[in-house]
């Protein structure tokens, strides 16, 4: 960017020579989507130069209020912006800005280079979700009306033991790696290792029919699962206890992912929790009810 800026200074502020120069240099800036020149007020004096050619409609554009230009206008010789959503393509982007100076040190303008994050090479490890307990409060309108509601038995509640046994069987022996039970609406959402990009929805008729397992081939329990197969039953028994623990504060939905070992909980207050399965099994019901080592606002 500094070398290109020096060459821009030699032909400043002639638009055509600048655009020719930027076109020649585009290949020297890997993954750069657009190159352009700005005057000292942040007004664009060239077209956008891209791999597809010149985009003249951007000439004359006022970029002075864009966040990526703030450091340059404040006097920085070079700046690289934080990621932002681009105004035109509406995609995550970065912009590098290099000050252009004459040989005598007079400030002439700026060189801008835009990068689309989608087109940048991956130079880091893939992000992994930390395995710690996350708590998220839900809709304030639901929380404020918590004590004016009570749990109503759903069809799943009436067949809860059979449903939990069936879902446990599908996880341990039929390739389900992520399952979510919606107690209030009596359905389950299941993801299978054989077809991980599509989930299946089982209604209460499916969940109370042991023969449904014949629909799905057997699959050995994966060795790289975080939760041992013999502990899956304990997790679902804990979900059962949370569903029936109180007529006001109760579990509406619960999920388990065997690969990251995270259990998801959504309560009647609309509060959600994501926690390691070991931590779930360590908690007693008085914790969730606020009668033990936590208050209701913290648990719900």
pLDDT band of 114, cuts 50, 70, 90? very high
85 and 223 fall within a common domain: no
141 and 273 fall within a common domain: yes
pLDDT at 84 over 60: yes
User: For the whole prediction, is pTM greater than 0.85?
Assistant: no
- The CATH number covering residue 73 comes to 3.30.450.20
Q: What is the pLDDT of residue 286?
A: 83
Cβ atoms of 81 and 72 closer than 8 Å = no
Bridge-based pairing of strands 187-192 and 176-182 is: antiparallel
- Residue 255 belongs to a domain: yes
d(CA 58, CA 54): 9
55 and 147 fall within a common domain: no
114 and 160 fall within a common domain: no
SS (H, E, C) 89-145: CCCEEEEEEEEEECCCCCEEEEEEEEEEHHHCCCCCCCCCCCCCCEEECCCHHHHHC
pLDDT band of 298, cuts 50, 70, 90? very low
pLDDT band of 299, cuts 50, 70, 90? very low
252 and 139 fall within a common domain: yes
Per the listing, tokens 């710690």 go with 132
Domain boundary among 88, 119, 150: 119
100 and 142 fall within a common domain: no
pLDDT at 55 over 90: yes
Per the listing, tokens 């998220």 go with 136
Lowest mean pLDDT among 122-136, 179-193, 261-275: 122-136
d(CA 231, CA 252): 22
pLDDT tens column, 13-33: 999 999 999 999 998 888 899
- CA distances (Å), 209 to each of 164, 171, 212, 219, in order? 12, 16, 6, 20
175 and 49 fall within a common domain: no
Overall number of domains in the chain: 2
Tell me which residue range forms the domain holding 253: 134-299
d(CA 153, CA 147): 17
SS (H, E, C) the chain: CHHHHHHHHHHCCCHHHHHHHHHHHHHHCCCEEEEEEEECCCEECCCEEECCEEEHHHCCCECCCCHHHHHHHCCCCEEECCCEECCCCCCEEEEEEEEEECCCCCEEEEEEEEEEHHHCCCCCCCCCCCCCCEEECCCHHHHHCHHHCCCCCCHHHHCHHHHHHHHHHHHHHECEEEEEEECCCCEEEEEECCEEEEEEEEEHHHHCCHHHHHHCCCECCCCCCCCCHHHHHHHHHHHHHHHHCCCCCCEEEEEEECCCCEEEEEECCCCEEEEEHHHHHHCCHHHHHCCCCCCHHHHC
- pLDDT > 90: what percent of the chain? 71
pLDDT at 150 over 90: no
Domain boundary among 119, 151, 167: 119
pLDDT band of 123, cuts 50, 70, 90? low
- Residue 64 belongs to a domain: yes
195 and 110 fall within a common domain: no
286 and 148 fall within a common domain: yes
276 and 155 fall within a common domain: yes
Nearest by Cα to 217 from 174, 166, 165, 177: 174
- Residue 126 belongs to a domain: no
- Residue 154 belongs to a domain: yes
115 and 144 fall within a common domain: no
114 and 152 fall within a common domain: no
Q: What is the pLDDT of residue 132?
A: 72
Domain boundary among 119, 148, 177: 119
């Amino acid at each position: 960017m500094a070398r290109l800026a020096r060459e821009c200074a030699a032909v400043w502020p002639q638009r055509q020579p600048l655009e020719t120069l930027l076109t020649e240099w585009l290949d020297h800036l890997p993954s750069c989507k657009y190159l352009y020149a700005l005057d000292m007020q942040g007004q664009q004096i060239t077209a956008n130069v891209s791999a597809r050619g010149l985009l003249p409609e951007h000439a004359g554009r006022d970029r002075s209020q864009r966040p990526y230009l703030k450091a340059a206008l404040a006097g920085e010789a070079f700046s690289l912006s934080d990621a932002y959503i681009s105004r035109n393509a509406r995609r995550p982007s970065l912009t590098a800005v290099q000050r252009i100076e004459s040989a005598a040190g007079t400030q002439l303008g700026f060189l801008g280079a835009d990068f689309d994050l989608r087109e940048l090479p991956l130079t880091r490890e893939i992000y992994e979700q930390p395995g710690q307990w996350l708590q998220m409060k839900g809709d304030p309108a639901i929380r404020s009306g918590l004590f004016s509601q009570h749990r109503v038995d759903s069809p799943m509640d009436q067949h809860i033991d059979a449903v939990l046994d069936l879902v446990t069987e599908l996880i341990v022996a039929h390739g389900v790696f992520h399952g979510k039970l919606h107690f209030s609406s009596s359905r389950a959402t299941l993801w299978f290792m054989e077809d991980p990009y599509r989930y299946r929805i089982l209604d209460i008729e499916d969940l109370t029919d042991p023969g449904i397992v014949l629909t799905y081939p057997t699959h050995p329990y994966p060795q790289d699962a975080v939760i041992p197969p013999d502990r899956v039953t304990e997790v679902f028994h804990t979900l059962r206890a949370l569903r029936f623990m109180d007529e006001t504060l109760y579990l509406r939905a619960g999920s388990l992912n065997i690969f990251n070992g995270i259990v998801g909980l959504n309560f009647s207050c609309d509060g959600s929790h994501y926690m390691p399965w070991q931590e779930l099994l360590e908690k007693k019901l008085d914790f969730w009810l606020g009668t033990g080592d936590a208050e209701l606002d913290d648990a719900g």
